[in-house]
Amino acid sequence: MLGTKGAFSIAALLCFVMILVVYSVKDSRVPGVRTLLVANLLGLGANFLYGFGRSLHPFVAYEVANTLYIAASLATLVTFRRFFNRPPLTIFLVCVLAIFLVLISTFHYGFNSYTARLVTVSTYQASIGLAIAITIFNARDTWSSAKYPFIFSLSAACVIFCGHTYRVAQQFLRSDAPRTLHDATEWNVLLIAVGAFTFPILTLGGLLIVHRKMMSAAEYAANHDFLTGAWSRRAFFEIGERELTLADRKNRKLSVMVLDLDNMKAINDTFGHASGDEALTCFVKNVTERLRASDYLGRFGGDEFVVLMPETDLPTAISVANRLLCQIGKSEDKTSQNGGTTRHPSFSVGVACRLPRESFQSLLKRADVALYKAKIEGRSQVVASEEPLLIS
């Protein structure tokens, strides 16, 4: 049967392995990774001292070991709060650590009681397990479609809460409750093993979350334009083909509009490239705010954008384009927060509604031809295409 020293040694080894793995994602830019690294360093020290510190000075065996353990779990809590952009509550947690240290010293030097120390440590650990579980649960709206890393971590935090609560209860209920940390009764070893192993397991959950966040960031970068956040050309085509199939199946209309900012070159040449960038970003934000949630705005390149409007016929698409032009294209240039001026260039729009069995490329081409007409007819206007083109 595994003894308590064996359990602490394995837990220390697991923390060491976790350090090596977490270190490999330290440059992932996911907030919380460095705190997770610190948590495992502290956990490694705590488990080592719990296992072998009794041969050292009592202050190291009791105060230092317990403080490292609690600091490790506080750092884990901060990690999970950072994962979900919650404030780390550093000052509050430092106060918790100080109170803990005072209590442990009191139950060591003032009134030497193993039970009192056990209750203190396990109550803290149960509270931290609960706090981590609540943090993960409260952020469920931000869990991506792949929920596994979040459910895994939530379960590990719940096991920590239940395990430590059970340990405290058993200390009062059982006649053979342990009198020292290294008491070799089966249930003492079992509970210590559960407590010691769940933190590396929680780290594993954290790593799964980091991995998920890295994948989400990569997916976002591949599918969105870096400057404006609009859908990338590639993603827009994928969405277009999907919506086209859907429109066919449900026998619904599908419209697109191609929007091109007027005289962007003049803005860049007169006010600088940064001003041009800001005009593009501002344009996307303004258009997005005025579209339905079911519409898609993509950047096709330069100052040309495309909007895909499912379930929209031509008259509706034209009125949407005119509304956008009226509300955004005719806005005055505004003084921005940093004292500069945000340019609101006007734009030209080509609109097309899908003809029966028409391909997505042909639909886009017709809208593009209509845009060209709008440009040569004087810009800042909407032109609709009704002519089918012979493109398959």
Residues that bind ligand GTP (CB under 6 A): 227, 260-265, 268, 273, 276-277, 280, 302-303, 375, 379
Alpha helices in the chain (DSSP H): 4-24, 33-52, 58-59, 65-83, 90-105, 114-138, 148-173, 186-223, 233-250, 264-271, 273-290, 314-324, 360-376
33-52 and 186-223 helices cross at what angle (nearest 10)? 170
**Closest listed residue to residue 310, CA positions, set 353, 361, 351, 349:** 353
Least spacing, CB of residue 388 vs ligand GTP, in Å:
26
- The minimum distance between CB 366 and ligand GTP, in angstroms, equals 19
Q: Which of 63, 277 has the CB closer to ligand GTP?
A: 277
Collapse the DSSP code of 293 into the 3-class scheme (helix H, G, I; strand E, B; otherwise coil) and give the result: coil
In the complex, which residue's CB is closest to ligand GTP?
276
- 173 CB contacts (<8 Å, ≥6 apart)? none
Name the residue nearer to ligand GTP (CB basis): 172 or 226: 226
Which CB atom, from 304 or from 313, has the smaller least distance to ligand GTP? Answer: 304
Q: Residue 321 and residue 135: Cα distance in Å, rounded?
A: 44
- How far apart are CB 238 and ligand GTP at their closest, in Å? 22
Q: Which of 14, 40, 13, 12 is nearest to 26 (CA)?
A: 40
Q: How far is the CB of 348 from ligand GTP (least distance, A)?
A: 7
93-97-100-102 Cα dihedral, nearest 10 degrees: -130
Torsions phi, psi for 139 (to 5 deg): -95, 20
Nearer to ligand GTP, 64 or 382 (CB): 382
Least Cβ distance, residue 349 to ligand GTP (angstroms): 12
| Least separation in angstroms between CB 350 and ligand GTP | 12
**Nearer of residues 20 and 376 to ligand GTP, judged by Cβ:** 376
Give the shortest CB-263-to-ligand GTP separation in angstroms: 5
Instruction: Look at residue 350 and give its three-state secondary structure.
Output: strand
Q: How far, in Å, are 8, 66, 108, 122, 125 from residue 48 at the CA level? A: 7, 11, 20, 18, 18
CB–CB of 117/62 below 8 Å?
yes
Residue 312 CA to residue 334 CA, distance in Å, equals 33
Q: How far is the CB of 197 from ligand GTP (least distance, A)?
A: 52
Long-range contacts of residues 262-265, Cβ cutoff 8 Å, at least 24 apart: 262/345, 262/346, 262/347, 262/348, 262/375, 262/379, 262/380, 263/345, 263/379, 264/302, 264/303, 264/345
Least distance from ligand GTP to the Cβ atom of residue 261, Å: 6
Task: For ligand GTP, give the closer residue by CB, 303 or 368.
Answer: 303
- Biggest alpha carbon–alpha carbon distance for the chain: 93
243 vs 262 by CB, closer to ligand GTP = 262
The residue among 311 and 333 lying less far from ligand GTP, judged by its C-beta, is 333
CB-wise, 6 or 302, nearer to ligand GTP? 302
If DSSP codes are grouped into helix, strand and coil, which group holds residue 349? strand
Closest CB 274 distance from ligand GTP, rounded Å: 7
**Closer residue to ligand GTP (CB): 265 or 330:** 265
- Candidates 65, 38, 84, 77; CA nearest to 157 is 77
